[in-house]
Amino acid sequence: MPRQLPVPPGGEPAFSSLINDRMYWPVQRARLQAAVLDGFQRVIGNPCERVVFGLWKYSLPGNTWVTKLGLPRRAVEQELDFRLSLHVAPRELICIRDWRRLPKRLRPSSSAFIWDGDWDLQRGDLRYGSRYRFISDLNAHHDDLTGCDAFKRLKTRLDDGRPWSSYRQGFLLDSEERILAYLRVYLNFMDDMKRNGFDQDRGKDELGVVVSRDGRLIKINRGLHRLAMAQYLGLPTVPVKVKAVHMEWWEKVTQNTHGAEALDRVVEELQHCEPETEPSPRDLEQTPENFTWPSKKV
């Protein structure tokens, strides 16, 4: 008798009907990895980060070193909590940090709140990204999903004996019925968002953004499907969470202050940050000029 697998760690409950017994061991590995990482962060990582953050917060010896390292992001989030949350118009949040051609060793650490370097000068345009194309195409074939590009691509993999799978979600799309069920989940998300608005507790990831040297908001790679849905529907606003800021912006705002004063300055200035809408000379691809949003659905 097939084993009934629980939703994997970080998995989306809406996909639970697609969980496949053949994914049992990959799911168990994912579960073990998540447990180890969570345990390490809880027992070692978080306490160490709080100690390091305390050096900076109370201007103790070593606080300058902590600033140069970028401040521990999780400690800053615990300190500021909801004050890092902003509401923006989704159709204005079109720039995403494009990490292509930037070696991993040169990328800012996701554990740091302050990012130095030129990471903000190379961006992509979400209007032409894979998630928005996927969502738009699904809606164009709402009544017959077999005509959408995603179905054709997944069906080709199935016919070639390479059905698409996700160990993070625990499912295996090994039949046309499963492919269609997978695509309908996204349509159900869309229908729910159209009726009830954006539910920030619905997805497993927050809509993370970062602040450029010019104080502009740039998207990072989390929650992109939900953002694409909000853009397609034309929602007035969506909640985003600031995950990091550029070192130049930080220095300009904080003016060499520390602790509560520096954080208060950052929070106050964040209220004036707007999404970046202009391309950068360093972008890998030129942005076409003929894009038009669909009429608002809400």
Q: What is the pLDDT of residues 117-169, one digit of tens each?
A: 999 998 899 999 999 999 999 999 999 999 999 999 999 999 999 999 887 77
Question: What one-letter code names the amino acid at 212?
Answer: S
Question: Please, what is the average pLDDT of the chain?
Answer: 89
**Tens-digit pLDDT profile for residues 195-235:** 999 987 776 678 999 999 999 999 998 889 999 999 999 99
- For residues 3 and 240, the model is more confident at 240
User: What per-residue confidence (pLDDT) applies to 63?
Assistant: 86
User: What per-residue confidence (pLDDT) applies to 1?
Assistant: 38
**Percentage with pLDDT > 90 across the chain:** 64
The CA distance from 168 to 12, in Å, is 9
Give the pLDDT mean for 58-62. Answer: 88
Cβ count within 10 A of residue 196? 9
Distance of CA 223 to the CA centre of its chain: 4
DSSP 4: -
Cβ(148)–Cβ(138) under 8 Å?
A: yes
Distances from the Cα of 228 to the Cα of 98, 139, 190, 211, angstroms: 17, 12, 10, 20
Predicted confidence (pLDDT) at residue 2 exceeds the cutoff of 70? no
Predicted confidence (pLDDT) at residue 41 exceeds the cutoff of 90? no
**Tens-digit pLDDT profile for residues 78-123:** 999 999 999 999 999 999 997 877 788 888 999 999 999 999 998 8
User: What per-residue confidence (pLDDT) applies to 229?
Assistant: 97
Q: Taking CA 221 as the corner, what is the angle to CA 155 and CA 270, rounded to the nearest 5 degrees?
A: 150
Cβ(79)–Cβ(263) under 8 Å?
A: yes
What's this model's pTM, rounded to 2 decimal places? Answer: 0.89
- 247 Cβ contact list (under 8 Å, min separation 6): 70, 114, 115, 116, 117, 213
Domain boundaries, the chain: 13-275
- For residues 195 and 30, the model is more confident at 195
**pLDDT bucket at 57, cuts 50 / 70 / 90:** very high
Please tell me whether residue 295 adopts helix, strand or coil conformation. Answer: coil
The CA distance from 205 to 298, in Å, is 24
User: What per-residue confidence (pLDDT) applies to 45?
Assistant: 84
Tokens of 251: 């220095």
Tokens of 238: 């969506």
**pLDDT bucket at 6, cuts 50 / 70 / 90:** low
